[in-house]
Structure formats: C-alpha cells, structure tokens
Amino acid sequence: MQKKNSFIDRLKEHPVVWNLLLIVAIILVMAVAAHLLMQIGTRHGARRTVPDFSGVLLQDARRIARKHDLKLQINDSLFVPAYEGGIILDQLPEGGVEVKPGRTIYITINSFRQKMVPVPYVAGRSLRQAKNMLEIAGLEIDELVYRPDIATNYVLEEYCDGKPVQQNSRIEAEMGSGVTLYVGVEEGYASTVVPQVVGLPLNQAKGRLWELGLNIGKIDFDEGVNLLNQKDARVYIQIPGAERSAALGSRVDLRLTLDAEKLKKHRAEAEKQAAAAAEERKAEEQMEADSLARVSLEEALQEPRTTEQGSTTMDNDEGFFD
C-alpha cells in the first residue's frame, strides 16, 4: 500500500510556495525574537514607584534610590538656612509617580553654605549699568539713596554691609545679598513714573523698579508660595499702581501668587487703572505746562520797554502829561 505524502512533502513539490512560506516563517520568528529582546532590554511592564525624597539627606536618598532601582542626579542647589545642608528640597518626577526601573530622578539639594561672590565696583556707572553688573555677579540692590548732584541716576557711592566699596577693594558677599547705592539727582528731576510690574516674577519686577529709581517695599506671598516655587509666582498687586508719578527712591509694595485665575483678574484691573492714571497724569502735566506758559506771558507783558534813548515807557503811557 502506497504511503500518502505529508502536507509538508506536498508543499515541497511546489518550490515557489515552499520558499515563500519559509521566508514568512523566518520573518515572523525574527519579529517575535526582536520583541522579546526589546521587552527584556527595556524591562517592559516593570514599574517602580518613586519615593518622596523631600527632607531626606543625600546619602540616605541614594541608598533608597538603589533599593528601588532608580538613579539620582543633582540638578540644582539652593541655600535655605532653615534646613540642614545636604537635605533634598525638591525632585522631578515627584514622589508617588510610577516610572521604569533605572529612571533618573533629578533633585535639588540644600547647600551647606551660601556661595560667596566678589562685589563689583559700580560707582560712576549709570543706575541701569550698575543694576546689570550686580545681577551678573549674583547680587541685587538693597536700597537706592538719592543725593543732589548734576548727574541724575548715576551711582555716586556704593556700600556693602555698611562698608564702602572702592575700585581696588576685594569685598565678597553672599550670593543673593544686596548693596546700597547712593545715586545722584539734579534739582527738578526728582520724580519718575511707576512701571507696570503686575504679571512679572519677583526678580523681573525688582529689576524694572530699580531701573527707574524705585526701591522695593514690602513683599508678601500668597499661601503656598515657598522658596522652591517662588520663581513661578507672579506679582498680582503693586502699590502704588502703574503710570503714577512717584519720587525717586520711594518704595513699591508687591504681592505675589501662584493662582493663574487670580493673576488674570488682577492684571486686567491693573491695566485698566494704569490707563486711567496715565490719562490723569498727562492732563495734570498739560495743566502745569499751560500754567507756566500763562505766567511767562504775563511776566513778558508786564516788563517795561526801553526806548532807543534809554528811557523807559509804560504800555499804558502813564505819566505822559506829567
């Protein structure tokens, strides 16, 4: 009895079909193998819950990270005197987030001491130049004190921690600290216009006010704003408001929030008030200009006229028949 050919044997009798099936089978095997290798390489499906490292010392956090198959990388550092040096202040991703094993967690730690930086010599510079030089050095303006001088808004003297800063002095200060600048002001130029700082972060708001010769007054923060998220807060109240006249060296109080809706509401109101204040200020300036012009005209009309012979005549010919 003749044995029946198997299905495979029958396929082999058709070389083209057989070869096509072999190629398809090889491709499928390679795809499955690659998928399995990728899963193994990326540990597909494996998840780790990121621990909350806030308030943990760096060496302890590294031990915890290894236990959870995670990596730590210091991304930034701050100096917060209230915390111990080496304490983790912030992290990304936050604690409780699920990530793949081997994920890098970026952390912000508390420095053991504030960095000391050289205080630049800014006397003789314009106020804007002095502000920029101090900011580049990591410092800021503590106070602007105006003194009579022909050079308005030029720095006359500079003091750091009560000590005069000279051109050849080698004074250092903690990063972020401020210096006192004595600035000149010519008689008749002792006022400025308050800029609009609603919507700006604190550093930018300070810079705008300093550039125009104004000091920073009281700074308040809404609940929830701290040293870690302070850079994200925005000014939503300033007193006095924008476009109002103010004496050079006067102070502007600021309040900041993280609430976007509150900021939007107050910004719209601030812009409305600023527009009204600008119109009011322009009207006052026009009235003052008209008043000065009227006084000048009256003085000119009252001045006696001198003839060619040097005698003085009056407009109303008073004493003509004397």
Domain assignments of the chain as residue spans, ordered by start:
194-290
- Determine the Cα–Cα distance for residues 229 and 90; give it in Å rounded to an integer: 10
pLDDT at position 157: 97
- Determine the Cα–Cα distance for residues 44 and 173; give it in Å rounded to an integer: 52
pLDDT at position 320: 41
The pair of three-digit structure tokens given for residue 139, joined into one six-digit string: 């410092």
- 0.85 exceeded by the pTM? no
pLDDT in tens, the chain (322 residues): 445 567 777 767 778 777 888 888 889 888 888 877 776 655 555 788 999 998 899 999 999 999 999 999 999 888 887 788 899 999 999 999 899 998 999 999 998 888 899 999 999 999 999 999 999 999 999 999 999 999 999 999 999 999 999 999 899 999 999 999 999 999 989 999 999 999 999 999 999 999 999 999 999 999 999 877 888 999 999 999 999 999 999 999 999 999 999 999 999 999 999 999 999 988 887 887 777 777 777 777 776 655 555 555 555 544 444 4
pLDDT at position 310: 53
- Determine the Cα–Cα distance for residues 153 and 35; give it in Å rounded to an integer: 70
pLDDT at position 298: 75
**194-290: in CATH 3.30.10.20:** yes
- Determine the Cα–Cα distance for residues 91 and 107; give it in Å rounded to an integer: 4
Helices assigned H by DSSP within the chain: 7-12, 15-42, 58-67, 127-136, 202-211, 260-302
